[in-house]
């Protein structure tokens, strides 16, 4: 890894690795706080909605899924707001402020007594989510240097995916043994540790003195930005429709005991970790091919899971492939957004996580509706398949627009390089002898 310069000093490869580790640790904490509710959904329902849970456990589980939806909506609101408003802040200072907010919001989630208050706390705790990942991705891309942006983004996102291998299963087990409130306090401790790590090893990076809210918001006027966001939101709904209700899927469909839920979460997390890293490498070569390939695997995996979830082998293979394919889309869509947003980098990087959490909210909501309607715990998998199919159609549209613009000689980002193609008709009209 080549040395990187930031301000007056030169960073060694070892310092860069430490900085990337600190940023990834934040992703680990965020992944833990976001996804642990999915493994503890029955516990949350029994404690916060005791009367409803005793009478109608399926309906209580579906209503407890609103906690996941509330967190996702907090990300959607907070990501563009914070990223646009704080774009001139030094990046390290902003990251530290966001980590303080995460720590306090997660403590509040653990201590508040009622379902309504915990619901509100989950929304507030989610506000820094997208801004953290957006700014951390920009810092990591800068540390890695040209030609390795997607790999830098994948390193940051690897904290989130590794959380699904280690953090979420461990904290789910802790929540089952000691109570879900203790689980959330443990997550708050990880956020506090991340604050110390970022403070110690992440180098200073200035904000953009020429940026402004108005300039950042220009990204929202670009059609290709909206298409990339829709691809993330609708496509990732396929993952979250499954992930939100993985606990009842494991216990009620496959027929396993509660102790198997953390194991299945490890399998999903392993798939996400591998898929994220592979997606980062492949997206540096071609965003388009990587996006098509990941969506193709996701559709096949969801179909197989829906048909074979009652068998242990089908469950494990299905959730592994669903996690891998969905995670490969993460650095791919993030890179696509950075390409099509031009000079609105901060808000584009943050909006990626708004889009993912729209998918989170959409998958959780539609899955809950299907379960509450009595369609069973496999129904969310079929819903996820439909959402992923829409994601493929949107990907076809966005790249078709690219091809159309290239035929007109418009500067179009393609993979990691931007190219300008001059139509042959123009050449024939303007070159001598043409």
pLDDT for 430: 43
pLDDT for 431: 40
- Assess whether pLDDT exceeds 70 at residue 428: no
pLDDT for 344: 66
CATH of the domain spanning 11-430 = 1.20.1250.20
Among 29-43, 105-119, 191-205, 352-366, the range scoring the smallest mean pLDDT is 352-366
pLDDT for 186: 93
Concatenate the DSSP letters of all residues of 18-79 into one string: HHHHHHHHHHHHHHHHHHHHHHTHHHHHHHHSHHHHHH-HHHHHHHHTHHHHHHHHHHHHHH
Token output for 356: 């993912």
pLDDT for 73: 82
Once rounded to an integer, what is the mean pLDDT over residues 178-186? 91
Distance CA 63, CA 66 (A): 5
For residue 112, the 8-state DSSP code is -
* Per-residue pLDDT reduced to its tens digit, 226-236: 888 888 888 77
| CA dist list (Å): 220 to 330, 343, 364 | 20, 12, 26
Task: Identify the three-state secondary structure at position 423.
Answer: coil
Round the average pLDDT of the chain to a whole number and report it: 80
pLDDT for 162: 84
Residue that is written with structure tokens 């006027």 in the block: 221
Domain ranges of the chain: 11-430
Q: Among 157, 138, 135, 161, which residue's Cα sits nearest to residue 149? A: 138
Higher pLDDT, 45 or 206: 45
pLDDT for 192: 95
Task: Identify the three-state secondary structure at position 245.
Answer: coil
Among 37-46, 200-209, 258-267, the range scoring the smallest mean pLDDT is 200-209
- Assess whether pLDDT exceeds 60 at residue 360: yes
pLDDT for 217: 65
Of 181-190, 373-382, 390-399, highest mean pLDDT: 181-190
- Assess whether pLDDT exceeds 90 at residue 415: no
* Per-residue pLDDT reduced to its tens digit, 91-150: 888 899 999 999 999 999 999 988 889 999 999 999 998 788 878 888 887 777 666 767
| Confidence bin at 423 (pLDDT 50/70/90) | very low
Interhelix angle 149-162/312-340, nearest 10 degrees = 140
Question: Do you know the residue count of the chain?
Answer: 434
Once rounded to an integer, what is the mean pLDDT over residues 194-204? 90
Of 94-108, 248-262, 318-332, highest mean pLDDT: 94-108
Handedness of CA 287, 289, 292, 294 (dihedral sign): negative
Higher pLDDT, 156 or 345: 156
Q: Judging by beta carbons within 10 Å of its beta carbon (0-12, 13-18, 19+), is residue 113 exposed, middle or buried?
A: exposed
pLDDT for 434: 38
């Amino acid at each position: 890894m080549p040395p990187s310069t930031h301000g007056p000093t030169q960073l060694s490869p070892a310092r860069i690795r430490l900085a990337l580790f600190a940023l990834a640790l934040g992703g680990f904490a965020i992944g833990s706080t976001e996804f642990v509710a999915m493994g503890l959904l029955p516990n949350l329902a029994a404690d916060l909605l005791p009367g409803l849970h005793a009478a109608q456990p399926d309906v209580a589980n579906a209503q407890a899924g609103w906690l996941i939806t509330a967190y996702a909506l907090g990300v959607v609101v907070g990501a563009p707001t914070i990223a646009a408003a704080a774009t001139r802040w030094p990046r390290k200072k902003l990251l530290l402020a966001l980590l303080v907010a995460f720590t306090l919001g997660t403590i509040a989630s653990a201590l508040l007594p009622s379902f309504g208050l915990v619901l509100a706390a989950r929304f507030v705790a989610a506000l820094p989510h997208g801004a953290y990942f957006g700014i951390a991705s920009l810092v990591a891309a800068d540390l890695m240097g040209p030609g390795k942006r997607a790999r830098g983004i994948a390193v940051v996102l690897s904290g989130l995916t590794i959380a699904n291998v280690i953090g979420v299963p461990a904290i789910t087990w802790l929540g089952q043994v000691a109570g879900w409130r203790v689980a959330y306090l443990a997550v708050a401790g990880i956020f506090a540790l991340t604050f110390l790590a970022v403070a110690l090893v992440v180098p200073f990076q200035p904000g953009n003195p020429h940026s402004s809210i108005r300039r950042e918001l220009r990204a929202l006027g670009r059609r290709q930005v909206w298409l990339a966001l829709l691809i993330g939101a609708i496509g990732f709904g396929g993952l979250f429709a499954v992930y939100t209700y993985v606990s009842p899927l494991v216990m009620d469909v496959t027929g396993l005991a509660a102790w198997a839920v953390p194991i299945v979460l490890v399998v999903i997390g392993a798939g996400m970790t591998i898929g994220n890293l592979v997606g980062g490498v492949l997206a540096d070569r071609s965003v388009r091919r990587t996006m098509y390939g990941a969506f193709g695997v996701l559709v096949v995996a969801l179909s197989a899971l829906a048909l074979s979830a009652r068998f242990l082998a089908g469950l494990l293979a299905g959730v592994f492939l669903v996690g891998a394919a969905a995670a490969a889309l993460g650095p791919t869509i993030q890179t696509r957004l950075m390409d099509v947003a031009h000079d609105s980098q901060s808000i584009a990087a943050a909006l990626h996580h708004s889009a993912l959490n729209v998918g989170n909210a959409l998958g959780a909501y539609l899955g809950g509706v299907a379960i509450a309607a009595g369609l069973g715990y496999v129904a969310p998998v079929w819903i996820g398949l439909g959402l992923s199919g829409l994601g493929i159609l949107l990907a076809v549209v966005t790249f078709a627009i690219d091809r159309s613009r290239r035929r007109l000689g418009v500067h179009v980002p393609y993979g990691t390089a931007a190219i300008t193609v001059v139509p042959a008709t123009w050449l024939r009209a303007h070159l001598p002898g043409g």
